Structure 1
Amino acid sequence: MIIHILAGGPTDHHPDLALYEKEEVVWAAVDRGVYHLLQKGIGPYAAFGDYDSVTDDELQWMKQQTNLQIVPKEKNETDLELAINWAVSQNPKCIRIFGATGGRLDHALANVQMLVKGLQKPIDMQLIDHKNEITLKRAGTYSIAKSDAFPYVSFLPLTETVTGITLNGFKYPLLKKTIEWGSTLCISNELVEEKGTFSFATGILMVIRSTD
């Protein structure tokens, strides 16, 4: 099972969702993301939110289109975290999150950090917008394919340090380097081969694939 979640971020930061519909997926949506998804003719399997970001008329229309789970405005989790917790509980192969960037910075940073929930299962979890695909990796060795849509690849430490990072098949290769918070050593690399590898010994690494 693959679960896609559309959050309520600005629509101009959405990628072309049609690019991610080639596989059979289960859609969930969050707050105003429910409205945007229904506008695209997609009915979410699950919908979460307090719906404080939609008008009364929009809310009534949404209720006519799908079954909404309305949660209190005052709570300990964001609406998106509730949706991610539900998605993780379904034990899918992959979770892709859209509409989670481009608005408030506090929410965007928290949304990136929530990718840790995928590592804990483990489940492949990605946060995707019109310019970036973001995922987290634990220590290990990984292959990565060249992509015309996302040609730039950056590696950032999510933990205080990431040790032993090695890059092969990249324009700027590395051999067993350590990167720390605040380092830009691994920003904006590119694959020069159709497939490359990256590996590291300790820590959690954020992998960001970006457009130009």
Structure 2
Amino acid sequence: MKKIIHLLAGGPKHLVPPLQDWDAQEIIWVGVDRGVKRLLDQGIKPTMAIGDFDSVDQVEWEFIEDNLQKYAKFNPEKDETDMELALNWALEQKPDVIRIFGATGGRLDHFFSAAYMLAKDDVLLHPTSIEIIDRSNIITVLSPGTYNLEKNSFPYVSFLPINGEIFGLTLTGVKYPLTNHPIVRGSTLCISNELVNDFGSVSFDEGILMMIRSKDE
């Protein structure tokens, strides 16, 4: 059985998919700052809570303390974001999959820091599959290699270079295929592609690529 960890941050509620759709007995839930209260409010008891908790008031913090057996509370004046601390903890557990919820919408600095955090060298080298998920998007960051794509309820697939030029990009099974094509940072060439078969693939030789699976709400 796969080891799966879900992180819930405190981003806008309307962008978070129904958590019950992503819950199962084997899932390890982690509340990130205010995300821990949202989990408790929905009847999901997290295994761990991490953050400085500066977004909860005293009454809410006492509620969190009363309902959790384990948490890590940090000084607000720190070098890492709450999400980075939570992701580091999750990676130390050596899971197969990490999914991050509540990290999109609201403050753009929070979103971009979470997205670019997935491109850190030590994260990319980790064998864990990591996704940022909201109601309309699934975001992953890819290092060079070959990846299978499967048609799902997110029909659009886009690719964005995030650290310079991508070399050898090949897309198969999609409406707009590419073969051994370079793309540079800032290019919109690979926006809003679509799978035309049940399965496709993306491969490239050099660079770091952000993949976004999307749907219209």
Taking structure 2 as the reference length, what is the TM-score of the superposition? 0.93
How far apart, CA to CA, are the structure 1 residues paired with 2:162 and 2:25?
A: 30
Q: Pick from 140, 144, 166: which aligns with 1:135?
A: 140
Q: Matched residue of 1:193: which SS?
A: coil
Quick check: 1:13 aligned with 2:15? yes
Q: Assess, with a 3 A threshold, how the Cα gap between structure 1 residues 168 and 23 changes in structure 2: closer, same or farther.
A: farther
After TM superposition, the runs of 4+ consecutive aligned structure 1 residues lying more than 4 A away are: none
Equivalent in the alignment of 1:113: 116
Equivalent in the alignment of 2:129: 124
| Structure 2 counterparts to residues 36-115 of structure 1, below 5 A | 36-67=38-69, 68-115=71-118
Q: Is the 8 A contact 1:156 1:205 kept in 2?
A: yes
Equivalences, count: 211
Q: Is the 8 A contact 1:118 1:124 kept in 2?
A: no
Amino acid at match of 2:42: K
Q: Matched residue of 2:207: which SS?
A: strand
Tell me the alpha carbon deviations over residues 129-156 of structure 1, each in whole angstroms, 9 at most, x when there is no partner: 1111001111111110011x21100011
Q: Which structure's residues are more often strand, by fraction?
A: 1
Q: Assess, with a 3 A threshold, how the Cα gap between structure 1 residues 89 and 55 changes in structure 2: closer, same or farther.
A: same
Deviation at residue 114 of structure 1 after TM alignment: 1.2
Amino acid at match of 1:157: P
Amino acid at match of 1:24: E
Q: Is the 8 A contact 1:97 1:126 kept in 2?
A: yes
How far apart, CA to CA, are the structure 2 residues paired with 1:5 and 1:104?
A: 18
Equivalent in the alignment of 1:173: 177
Amino acid at match of 2:90: A
Q: Matched residue of 2:35: which SS?
A: helix
Q: Is the 8 A contact 2:96 2:127 kept in 1?
A: no
Q: Matched residue of 2:62: which SS?
A: helix
Long gaps (5+) in structure 1: none
How far apart, CA to CA, are the structure 2 residues paired with 1:21 and 1:51?
A: 24
Equivalent in the alignment of 2:164: 160
Tell me the alpha carbon deviations over residues 6-48 of structure 1, each in whole angstroms, 9 at most, x when there is no partner: 0111111101222322572111111110000001111111101
How far apart, CA to CA, are the structure 2 residues paired with 1:16 and 1:180?
A: 36
Q: Is the 8 A contact 2:36 2:49 kept in 1?
A: yes
- Cα RMSD over matched residues? 1.3
Amino acid at match of 1:163: F
Q: Assess, with a 3 A threshold, how the Cα gap between structure 1 residues 63 and 23 changes in structure 2: closer, same or farther.
A: closer
How far apart, CA to CA, are the structure 1 residues paired with 2:75 and 2:37?
A: 18
